[in-house]
Structure 1
Amino acid sequence: MHQQSKTEFHKPSLLMAVLPILLTIVLVMIQLFVYQDGSPHIPLAIGALITSVFGYFRGYAWKDMQEGMLNVIHTALPAIFILYVIGMIIGTWIAAGTVPYMVYYGLQVLSPGYFLAAACIICSVVSLCTGTSWGTTGTMGLALMGIGEGLGVPAHMTAGAVVSGAFFGDKMSPLSDTTNFAPAVVGTDLYTHIKNMMPVTVPAMLIALVAYTYVGFDFAGGEINQEALNVIVVTLQQEFSLGVWLLIPAVAVMYLALSKKPALPGLFAGAVLGGIAAMLFQGDSLHDVFNTMLNGYRSDTGVAAVDSLLSKGGLMSMNWSVTLIIAALAFGGVLEKTRCLETILETILKFATSNTRLLLSSLASALGVHIATGENYLAQSLPGRMFAPAYRGRGLHVSNLSRTMEDAGTLSAPLIPWSSGAVFVAATLGVATLSYLPWAIACWASLLIDVVWAVTGWFVPKATEDDIDLWAEQEADVLVGDELMTGSEYRNDIQTSSV
């Protein structure tokens, strides 16, 4: 078959753009709901193949589509490295006694009545300070799961509260990669982006805390299974040498994050410190530490609640998540390379004839890309690039778009079963995505509040003259009706019309 040069490629029709996505979604749904198998790896890999076949018959060479896959996978390599390091952190912090000490101490001071609200607040503070929802979930979140089990709080509720707090903090932290990525894509600055997220994020968190407090009343009147709780406490005392000094690895990681040190070396330092603490305080050998970093910690106390909580971590434990991320990224990469996503987004953009429609369309598009590909970076970057000129053309501040991208990317990540965020949470906390989803209140409430502000027009700031000057300086694209112009041309038109 004749292979076209890159300059001859045309966008596919809407049917040809949507069909490979629909076929892939059908395969994923069959795997998840018909076969009751939570591993969508193969359906996504087949989806990448289906899309490649469609691209081949449109004239794309395999090397071009492979390039598209590899380019997208390359952008996620830092996140994959961080995921592996977090696996090592989980293993060494358990071996060191850091996580067991958090569980032990938490069982002494927390009560069932306010546990869910406290878990949400604790995770939000840690995530806000460190900028990583994954790191918070894998350390503090894991400890809170053990505390919740000891207090008799259902695991899916605890997981939901952990997710709400961890991903809230990630979204609002200036140290988070996604919080820096979203404004960079649309062309605004970090702190304007964070400020404009407040009208969505603060109400969502308040709703979550009220709900967790209300639900806590049901547990406050109940009796704690003191015997089971005592078994956990005594077992932890017997298995580990416990003390406040075991928090040194956690304090070090938070210090490095607050000092704005790069995430990967900072987290790896936490894993190494955990290994050192395991040797100094728990009597592990260097070989034990290496094995824990690779394969995780294996608890054999004979107490099921303790063993299921502590038998986690290790670099190898992240392979399930990493392979799923790679499959999803490959699928998303070939969709982008063959211009399928571009066709879909441009079609949606034609219906965005008002501010409300534009806001809702960008939110729906970002969610659609996230659901189709399972990749939050694509959910932010593709709609962000496509919709930014339209926001400028309607005189809206582009931070409205970056806020939408953040909600559809960061906060929806733990809600989509095949998204990397949900995969990590489910594997780490041991709770299925669809089980904790209703209790991840701050995440889905933010999306609903986005819809409310889009419909009412509240908290949707307009572009200022300074913003328009910035567009002219950046020569940013501005879409006015069907006409695409540069920022300087747009400013000149405004100045001319105002004379």
Structure 2
Amino acid sequence: MSNLAENPQGSGKKPNPKALTPILVFLILYLGTGIYFEYIHPQDGQMGFYVMSVVVAFGLALIVAFLQNPSLSFDEKIHICAKGIGDDNITIMLFIFLMAGAFSGIAQEAGGVESTANMLLNIIPGRFAIPGLFVISCLISMAMGTSVGTITVLVPIAASVAQTAGFNLPLCVGTVVGGAMFGDNLSFISDTTIAATKTQGVAMKDKFRTNIKIALPAALITLGILLGIALSGGPARLGDYPFNIGLAIPYFAVLIMALLGTNVFVVLGVGIILFLIMGGLCGSLTFASAFSSMGSGTTGMFETMIVTILVASISALMEEYGGFEAILAFIRKFSHSRRGGMMGIAFLTALMDIATANNTVAIVVAAPIARTVSAEYRIPPQKTASLLDTCSCIFQGIIPYGAQLLIAAKLSNLSSVSIIPWLFYPFLLLIFVLLSILFDGRKVISENKGGSKD
């Protein structure tokens, strides 16, 4: 059997489980310290999983990777890392992160998020405030490209709505978290979307078309459940929320352009220009505050960019040492079909997110292996990108130690665990992901398992 049949990329490397040691080191450091400082020895005013910086953990893991395989010189290992970092998709991803940070920074400074959310709240009848919160959080998250930002803005509003109308507070907060994860998963400017599509070399619109077939049914059923809860409750009256329609226009423009499949650089560039114009006209931005906020926004993306560079380096070294082949050998052992390959990608991504509590990091770590699995089992790259993004967002939205639930709990004075039963959307999305795999129309047998069937 040829090496190409064993490895579609033609590396011909032997499986070497020891090459995966850097990831094991990272998981022990990051997950271990996170559990210790979150549940055993909590630190006042600090989330346990953020005591150990993810950058430091990956930095130490990279040192371990360099110490392995003494047959290669230090200079040769640097060259391998440089090739991994210099990949076209990694470079594009880094540039998009910078622009997304600038957009997020100026949008927040202008007050666009609050205006958009308040405008939509004023339109929705009080009785349907809970399903309205879900729709609003979906739209805001798609426009902003960040679930954490959406939760930070909308959970205080959801808490106010719950108090004013007498609604169940965990339900209102869980509704916002679910909607935020919907937008994070589908937004063209979300770092998870950027990471998933660029690492698989697919257009965002193609991933969106594949993704929406899974996400939309889950969202519609969630909306139906929330409508049923709203209709079974009594009438509610909400207050008036101040808004400026001019500051909402840039978000809607960005959302429409993204849905039309416009190039992400154009979408972000137009969004920044619109906020500059509308923020100036509405008096919420000055020349100084506009450019200062864009600088702060890009600075906020630096950790994600550094993690991307570190993971690209570690992944390149692990691949060179035969680590990827070890994981592929494991997947081949239990996955004899295209469905099995997709299930392997989904499981790997979920495991990485549970371990790292960061959906973007989970995607970046799992992506190189997922791409190889995708090639071997003839899984369309847009499907692989969809699985990476969706599975990471599902588990990021339901783990009680993830940033999303921790921030939501802090802002609403709840425990993160108390919100989990009300996370209808993430659990429904998980069901639809599994159904999309189980009822996949094409059965492709891996070549190294005895031929292929289309």
User: How far did residue 347 of structure 1 move?
Assistant: 1.8
CA distance in 1, matches of 2:401, 2:100: 16
The letter of the residue matching 1:270 is G
The letter of the residue matching 2:109 is T
CA distance in 1, matches of 2:50, 2:194: 31
- Structure 2 residue aligned with 1:378: 364
TM-score (norm 1): 0.64
For the pair shown, the structure with the greater C-alpha radius of gyration is 1
- Structure 2 residue aligned with 1:133: 145
User: How far did residue 461 of structure 1 move?
Assistant: 1.0
Q: CA RMSD in A?
A: 4.7
Structure 2 unmatched runs, 5+: 1-10, 43-47
TM-score (norm 2): 0.70
1:12 to 7, 12, 16: 16
Change (3 A) 1:398 1:8: closer
User: How far did residue 423 of structure 1 move?
Assistant: 6.7
- Structure 1 residue aligned with 2:105: 88
After superposition, the C-alpha distances for 1:248-294 in whole angstroms (9 at most, x for unaligned) are: 33344345445644334533443443344344333764334445x26
Higher relative contact order (CA 8 A, sep 6+): 2
Task: Find the residue that maps to 1:338 and give its secondary structure.
Answer: helix
CA distance in 2, matches of 1:58, 1:10: 14
Q: Does residue 27 of the first structure (1) align with residue 33 of the second (2)?
A: yes
Change (3 A) 1:386 1:416: farther
Change (3 A) 1:318 1:150: farther
CA distance in 1, matches of 2:271, 2:204: 27
Matches within 5 A, 1:12-411: 12-13=16-17, 17=21, 19-24=24-29, 25-36=31-42, 37-39=48-50, 41-42=52-53, 45-59=56-70, 61=74, 63-64=78-79, 67=82, 70-71=85-86, 74=91, 76-94=93-111, 98-102=112-116, 104-111=118-125, 113-125=127-139, 133-134=145-146, 138=149, 144-145=154-155, 147-152=157-162, 157-158=171-172, 160-169=174-183, 171=185, 197=211, 200-216=214-230, 220-221=233-234, 229=239, 233=241, 236=242, 243-254=244-255, 256-257=257-258, 260-282=261-283, 285-291=286-292, 293=293, 315-316=295-296, 319=299, 322-323=302-303, 326-327=306-307, 330-331=310-311, 333-339=313-319, 340-353=323-336, 357-372=340-355, 374=358, 375-378=361-364, 381-392=367-378, 401-411=384-394
After superposition, the C-alpha distances for 1:162-181 in whole angstroms (9 at most, x for unaligned) are: 44335435645788886698
User: How far did residue 460 of structure 1 move?
Assistant: 0.9
CA distance in 2, matches of 1:127, 1:43: 24
- Structure 1 residue aligned with 2:6: none
Change (3 A) 1:173 1:142: closer
Change (3 A) 1:48 1:29: farther
Q: Does residue 461 of the first structure (1) align with residue 428 of the second (2)?
A: no
Change (3 A) 1:212 1:206: same
User: How far did residue 330 of structure 1 move?
Assistant: 1.8
CA distance in 2, matches of 1:390, 1:156: 44
The letter of the residue matching 1:334 is I
CA distance in 2, matches of 1:133, 1:286: 24
CA distance in 2, matches of 1:194, 1:103: 24
User: How far did residue 364 of structure 1 move?
Assistant: 0.7
Task: Find the residue that maps to 1:115 and give its secondary structure.
Answer: helix
CA distance in 1, matches of 2:260, 2:435: 37
Change (3 A) 1:101 1:208: same
After superposition, the C-alpha distances for 1:160-217 in whole angstroms (9 at most, x for unaligned) are: 4344335435645788886698678779888876565566334422332234334546
CA distance in 1, matches of 2:284, 2:334: 65
CA distance in 2, matches of 1:159, 1:108: 19
User: How far did residue 84 of structure 1 move?
Assistant: 1.8
Structure 1 unmatched runs, 5+: 1-6, 237-241, 295-314, 465-477, 495-499
Change (3 A) 1:148 1:425: same
Percent identity of paired positions between Structure 1 and Structure 2? 17
User: How far did residue 350 of structure 1 move?
Assistant: 1.7
Change (3 A) 1:410 1:341: farther
CA distance in 2, matches of 1:434, 1:289: 38
Instruction: Check conservation: 2:121, 2:129, Cα contact below 8 A.
Output: no
